[in-house]
Amino acid sequence: MKTKWFRNLGLAVMALSLTFGSVSAVSASSKLSGRIVINGSSALLPLTLQASNEFKKLNPKVKISASAAGSVTGPQSVRKGIADIGACDWDASTSVPGFAAFSGQVANKVAVIPFAAVTNGSVGVSSLSTSDLQGIFSGKITNWKDVGGKDAKIVVVNRAFGSGTRVNFQLKALNGTDFMTKGDNYKEVKSSGDMKTAIETTPGAIGYIDLVYVSGSKMKAVSINNVAPTEANVINGTYKVWSYGYYMTKGQPTGAVKAFIDYVQSSKFQNGSLKKLKFIPLAAMKK
Amino acid sequence: MSMKKTLMISALAAALSTSVIGVASAATPQQTTATAPFNVMVNDSSIQVRSIQANGTTLVSLRDIGSATGALFVVNVKSGVTAYIQGHSVELHAGSAAAMVDGEQVDLQQAVVSVNGSYYISIEDFVGAFGVDGAMDDAGKAWIDSVERIHADTISWINAGQLLASTLSDEGRTDYIVDAKTSAFTKVLSSDSASELSVSPDGKKAAYTDDDGAVYVIDLTSKSFNSQTVTADNSIKPELVWSADGSAIYFLQSDKGTVIQKLNVADGKLTQVLSDKVDYKSNLSVSTDGTKFFYVVSKPGAVTADANKPVDVDDVAIDTTGTEPQIYFFDASVKDAAAGTKLTSSTDDKIFVGAAADGSKAYYISAVDGQPSSLVAVAQDKTVTKLIGDKDVLQAAFAGDKIYALTDAGEQTALYEVDAVSGTSKLIANLDGNVSEVVAAPGAPAAVVIDDMTYVVDGGSLMKVTK
């Protein structure tokens, strides 16, 4: 061979650091291997699957299986030892209304998720106060005219127990007050998709949903205390109904699990696919 | 001096310890020889500089080698020299093993020596203090590279002579056009809300989405890189795929990627190509005639959980059977076609999926637990053919009828070119270092990313284009 292609790693790395700094990349010949099982939040599932597609290109020996059945099943699966990562819309290492802390688990932030109170498009209300919401979701306020809307019966649509969206809405929109649990004007749904369908097709309905699902004229996202549920208002701190999305792990993550979480937290993913899926990057909350 | 720089200087010294250029203690009294010519490669050209031997180490003229790399010098009142290179300042003093780089001290391995008013410095110290790239070849010749380049976090070809390079940060992204021969770069877009740019096949346009999902197209041929809104449609669009003629952009719509949509660039009209209620499509490829679509479907695992049981019972079960990604095909030219056809059902992982330009088959890397990964083609009739089956294939990039593949070659990474039509493959290069990506496009040479830097494969050599 006439000339061997050569490169002096020490020199190259030094030159880089003296100028702009470096961004780490995983080698195509990465020997990282293993299987990662992820379960939990349905809101985080699209993000997880997209990250999985991208991560496997950097680590072709790592297999990833993802599933969703509600946030609480994430830390439950980790505690039971059937999942490596529990995707959850709240920090399950701490206690929240209805759920004790999952001790020994570490909450790894991966995204910011805004939530919105949503109504059927015909109710005639554009903003509700915290007090209004507490009255409506507890069943004490039953007609839209009592909160400035049309003379129409209110139908409360709630997410089933175990939903991360429900936990966050109760904590941050209702300040921890209880939901009504039964009655003619009460429905329970199991997913964000079902919530969207129920709100769009039920006259007088009110519920709550990830902001990403809000589209079209059949469903309306209402302001809370006159603050609109927008990404900008989440970032500037005026809109309070949002949460970090977490990957719960049993202790500090290691190996392929750590590498996967690192990838989801990387600038490449946060400012790339995560934003395209309409989550808010973690770094946006630090500004 | 920061610990980071201390460690890097140490690593450099260790890396060069077996070279012809030795390293001496800065504290050792200097015994120098008369000046002699010394050959060094600077930016791929051989130049001759003055040199001396000091305690058995070759020191080169600071002015000679600095000038060759583009540095400007100012002699200051304290008998020192300050050099300016690529926006950085380097202050050196005779008899001192301390350099001030942008006001921060960097320790040198060897004190700078002054002979008849001229400063001499070891090459490794020059490289470290001046922030240029350096290397030693097998023959012991030093190579220095001082061409100003950008760093790229992502890279793709625009056409045979230009690449699109992007730098990423927590604040957003900046995209550049980079000349593949000179490394010269021009900023195209800097944004905290734009997605990555998807370049049209002719290299004249690039598309991106904003935070709302609206689609914009940049004219890459205009000096100001004019951008126009194609559609304000705010549905989620995880990936944009250009039609071969650049008239349309295809995308998988919604967070579940359920629907294949076609966006007409001229008027923003959206046309539904496929809506078969199959969720989690990804890696969309479209044939040249725009009728044949390949994509991957990822099926989530099935979970059973009884919400009526106490949480601490952990009554959860996950069935991951059948969650491996599968290749699907949809032929829009078939009248009343309403659903994609599942081409694969194997339990291997399928990554780096691409398709033949004529839509006859899809290509992918098949990864099986505990076995080398192979490069595979699957035809519309579900026939599976191995294109590379005797090596561990790590990556693949598609360029018309060519596929470039990276394979594990022990301490090295091998780059192969595969003729997608005949199935034959040939070795292009064995690459050292941390090879993280091969970049390809029809009509363009292959490029590889090694240690975060992009190199264009040019015959028997690598030309660095990003740092």
pLDDT at A111: 97
Say yes or no: A70 contacts chain B, CB-CB below 8 A.
yes
DSSP state of A177: P
CA B49 to chain centre: 35
A265 neighbors A281 (Cβ within 8 angstroms): no
Q: What is the CATH number of domain A32-111+244-284?
A: 3.40.190.10
Its domain, for residue B19, covers: 3-145
Q: Which of A5, A60, A268 sits opposite B432 (nearest CB)?
A: A5
Q: Which residues of B touch A79 (CB under 8 A)?
A: 314
- Which of A128, A205, A113 is CA-nearest to residue A167? A113
State CA A106 to chain mean position distance. 17
Contact B238 A276 (CB under 8 A): yes
pLDDT value of position A261: 98
Model pLDDT, residue B467? 87
Assess contact for A24 and B452: CB atoms under 8 A: yes
How many separate domains does chain B show? 1
pLDDT of residue B256: 86
Domain contains B449: no
Residue B386 lies in a domain: no
Numbered ranges of CATH 3.40.190.10 in chain A:
32-111+244-284, 114-235
Which of B90, B107, B316, B349 to probe by mutation at the A interface, max A CB count within 10 Å?
B316
Strands (E), B192-239: 198-199, 205-209, 215-219, 227-231
Q: Is residue B248 part of a domain?
A: no
On chain A, the residues whose CB falls within 8 A of the CB of B315 are 76
Q: Where does residue B185 fall: left (phi above 0), alpha (psi -120 to 50 degrees), or beta otherwise?
A: beta
The interface residues of chain A toward chain B in range 94-153, judged by CB-CB distance below 8 A, are: 99-100
| Residue of A26, A55, A265 lying closest to B170 (CA atoms) | A265
Residue B169 in domain: no
Residue in chain B nearest A19 by alpha carbon: B131
Report pLDDT for A32. Answer: 87
Domain annotation covers residue B67 = yes
Q: How far apart are CA A268 and CA B359, in angstroms?
A: 31
A239 near A224, Cβ under 8 Å?
Answer: yes
**B256, B324, B435: residue with CB nearest A46:** B256
Residue B314 in tokens: 């952990």
Residues 224-253 of chain A with CB under 8 A from chain B are 231
Torsion of the alpha carbons at A203, A208, A214 and A216, rounded to the nearest 10 = 0
**Cβ-nearest to B316 among A76, A161, A286:** A76
Tell me which residues of chain A have a pLDDT lower than 50: 1-27, 29
Residue A203 identity: P
CATH code at position B90: 3.30.457.10
Chain B positions in Cβ-Cβ contact with residue A68 (cut-off 8 Å): 300, 303
Return the pLDDT at B373.
Answer: 95
Contacts of B255 in chain A (CB under 8 A): 46, 212, 277-278
Report CB contact under 8 Å: B460, A76: no
Position B286 in a domain: no
Please name the member of A22, A29, A161 whose beta carbon is closest to the beta carbon of B452: A22
Give pLDDT, residue A114. Answer: 95
Helices (H), B248-319: none
Query: Domain A114-235: which CATH class?
Result: alpha beta
Q: What is the pLDDT along chain B (467 residues), one digit of tens a residue?
A: 233 222 232 333 333 332 333 233 344 456 677 788 999 999 888 999 999 999 888 999 999 999 999 999 998 767 689 999 988 999 999 999 999 999 999 999 999 999 988 999 999 999 999 988 888 887 888 989 888 899 999 999 999 999 999 999 888 899 999 999 999 999 999 998 899 999 999 999 999 999 889 999 999 999 999 899 999 998 899 999 999 999 999 999 988 889 999 999 999 999 999 999 999 999 999 999 999 999 999 999 999 998 889 999 999 999 999 999 999 999 999 988 899 999 999 999 999 999 999 999 999 999 998 899 999 999 999 999 999 999 999 999 999 889 999 999 998 999 999 999 899 999 999 998 889 999 999 999 999 999 999 999 988 788 899 98
| Cα–Cα distance for residue pair A169/B211, rounded to 1 Å | 24
